[in-house]
Amino acid sequence: MTATKQVEHDETSTEATTSERLALAVFVAYLVVAGVLVLFWLGDYHWFFGDEWSFLAERNAGDLDDLFRSHGEHWVTLPILSYRLLYNVFGLESYLPYQAVVVVGHLVCAGLLRVVMRRAGVGPWTATIAASVFVLFGPGEENIVWAFQIAFVFAFMFGLTQLILSDHDGPVDHRDWLGLAAGTAALMSSGLSLVMVVVVGLAVLVRRGWSMAAFHTAPLAGLYLVWYLATDPGGIDNPFGRSATIGEMVEFVWSGVPAGLEAAGGSMLVGVAMAVVLVVGVGLIVRRDPEWRRIAPSASLLAGAAMFLVGTGYTRWFITLDAGSQSRYLYTIVGFGLPLLAVAADMIIRQRRQLAPLVLLPFVVAIVVNLDGFGDRDPWNPAYHASEQRRLLTLAHSDLADQVPAYVRPNSWFTVGWLRDEAERGAVPEPGPGATASPDALVPLVAIAHLDEPIDAPCRAVADGTRLEPTAGDRIGFAFTDPPPEGTPFFFQDAIVFTRIGQDGQPMGTIAFSATTGTTLEFELDGLRLDVAAAADQELLLCR
C-alpha cells in the first residue's frame, strides 16, 4: 500500500469511527431524554394497579414460599425482591421509584437490541434509527410505564444479555458463564425467559454447534424443572373448562402478524412497508451474504416472537384471541422482530445506498407516530389511575375503614385491614390537598366482601335487574348454569355485577365480582340498594 493510499485508508477509518461514536452518542442521548419523558410526562399518570398489589401486600422477602411461589404460572423471584426493597424504603409515598425500575429496564432492552443489531453488522446509524423505534414505543406502553411489568422486561433484558454474551466463537470462557448467570436471572423473572432460552439455544446452535447450545440451555432447563416440581405452579383456570383448539391457536398466532406490523409502524401502511423491507433484505442476505450466520441471533429472536405467540395462545386463549389486544404482547412481538428488520434494511442500503432514505423512512415515521400511544390503554387510562389513587388513599385514613371487617377487600389483592395497618405505620400517605375522594366514592370498595367459602342455601335463577336491599352481615351465593359465550371478554366471564341505586332511583355505578375467586358474598353496609345481573349472557343463580 502506497503512503497516499495509507493516508486515505486512515482518514476513512477515522471518519467511520467518528460516525460510529456520534451515532452511539445520539442514541444514548435519546435514551436519557426518553427516560425523563416517560417518568415525568408520558407515564406519570400511572399509579399502583392490579397484580402489583400482590407483591406489595401478599409477599414477604423473608419467606421462601413467598419468594418462589408462582404468580400466574410465572417464576417471579426477582420482581418480588425489587418490590419488597422499594416498599420498605418508599411505601406508597410515590410510584416514581417503582416505575423508574421498569423504565430503566426497558431502556436497557432498547440498548441491547441495538447491540444485537450492531453485532450482526448493521451500520451505526441504521441501528440507531431502528432501535429508536422501540424506545418510546407507545403501543407497548404497558411494559414501559407499569412497574409490575418488570417481570416481562427483566426476562427480556437478561435473556438479551445471555444472547449477546454467547455470540462468539471458540470454547467456553467467562462470557458464557456470565451468560448462564444472566439466563438464570431471566428464569427468575417471568415465563418469557423460556422463550429466550430457546432463542439463545438456536442462535448458539447455528454459530457454535450442539455442545455449546446445550451448555447455554440444558442447565437452565434443569433449573426451571426443579423450580416447577418444587412449587407446582399448575395452570390457570378458565371458565370454558377446556384447552384451546388448533383453530384458536392458529387464530391467535396469525393475529399477531398484522397487529405487530401495525404497532411497529404506527399504522398498517407503514407496517407493510417494514414487512417489504424485511422480506427483500432477508432475501438479499440469503442470496449474497456468505457470512449469513452472523444474523443468527436476530433471526432467532424473530422465531422467538412466533414461539411467544404459540405459548401465549395456548395458555391465555380464553382472555382474547386477538394478540394485538394486549399492549405487553405488542411490546414483545415488536421487540423480538426489530433486530432482523434492521439487518434487512441495512442489507438493502449496502446494495443500493441511494435507497437509504426510502428504506429508513418507515422507521423514522414510526418513531414519531408511536409517541402518541401513551395513555390510551382503556379503561386503565389516566382518569382511572387518578381515581384509584384518590379512593384508596382516602379509604386508608377514613372512618369507613374502621366500620367494616378487616377481611373486606377493596380489590382482589389486599384487605382493608392491611391497608389500615399500613397507613397507621406510615407506609400509606394521606391524599394530597384537593385529592380526597368523596365518602360515597368509597362505598363500592368496602360494601361487599368476597368470601372463599360455600354457602348452604337454596339457589334460584334470577332475572337481570333483580333488586336487593340487604342489611349488614347478610350473605348470598351465586353461580351460573352455563359457561359464558365464547368470545366473552375476560373480565366479564363468570362475573356478577351489582348496580348501586341512589335515593333518587338513578344508577350510581357498578360493583363486580368473579366466580374464580369465590362464590359467596357478604354485605357490609346498611342502606344498600342494588340491582344484580350476570356480566355476560349467562343464567345467574342466587343462593340465599
Domain regions of the chain by residue span: 22-235+242-373, 381-431, 447-544
| C-alpha span between 43 and 472 (Å, rounded) | 40
Question: Residue 486: phi, psi to the nearest 5?
Answer: -65, 135
The residue count of the chain comes to 544
Please report which residue ranges of 374-473 form alpha helices under DSSP H: 382-396, 400-403, 416-424, 439-446
Ramachandran class of 523: left when φ > 0, alpha when ψ lies in -120 to 50, beta otherwise: beta
DSSP letters of 340-375?
HHHHHHHHHHHH-GGGHHHHHHHHHHHHHHGGGGTT
Residues facing 542 on adjacent strands: 460, 478
pLDDT digits (tens), the chain, 544 positions: 555 555 444 555 666 688 899 999 999 999 999 999 999 999 999 999 999 999 999 999 999 999 999 998 999 999 999 999 999 999 999 999 999 999 999 999 999 999 999 999 999 999 999 999 999 999 999 999 999 999 999 999 999 999 999 999 999 999 999 999 999 999 999 999 999 999 999 999 999 999 999 999 999 999 999 999 999 987 776 667 677 788 888 888 899 999 999 999 999 999 999 999 999 999 998 887 667 778 999 999 999 999 999 988 888 877 777 888 889 999 999 999 999 999 999 999 999 999 999 999 999 999 999 998 888 777 788 999 999 999 999 999 999 999 999 999 999 899 999 999 999 999 999 998 888 999 899 999 999 999 988 888 899 999 988 999 999 999 999 999 988 887 788 788 899 999 999 988 899 989 999 988 889 999 999 999 999 999 999 999 999 9
Which cell numbers in the block locate residue 524? 357490609
Amino acid 175: pLDDT:
97
Q: Report, in this order, helix, strand and coil percent for the chain, each rounded to 5.
A: 60, 10, 30
Q: Contact 58/414 with Cβ under 8 angstroms?
A: yes
Q: Which of 13, 16, 82, 11 is nearest to 52 (CA)?
A: 82
Residue 255: CB atoms within 10 Å: 19
How much is the pLDDT for 375?
Answer: 82
Please give the Cα distance from 412 to 415 (Å, whole number).
8
The CA distance from 127 to 339, in Å, is 8
Would you state the pLDDT for residue 14?
65
DSSP 411: S
- pTM, two decimals, is 0.93
Q: State which CATH number among 3.30.70, 3.40.50, 2.60.120, 1.10.10 fits the domain covering 447-544.
A: 2.60.120
pLDDT (0 to 100) of residue 518 = 85
Cα 51 to Cα 69: distance, rounded to the nearest angstrom: 14
Instruction: Give the torsion sign (CA, 181, 184, 188, 193).
Output: positive
Q: How far apart are CA 514 and CA 519, in angstroms?
A: 8
Distance CA 264, CA 370 (A): 8
pLDDT for position 8 = 45
Closest CA to 90 of 75, 77, 100: 100
Residues 6+ apart with CB under 8 A from 471: 523, 526
> Which one, of 243, 164, 233, lies nearest residue 199 by Cα?
164
Amino acid at the residue 338: L
466-468 and 530-534 strand pairing: antiparallel
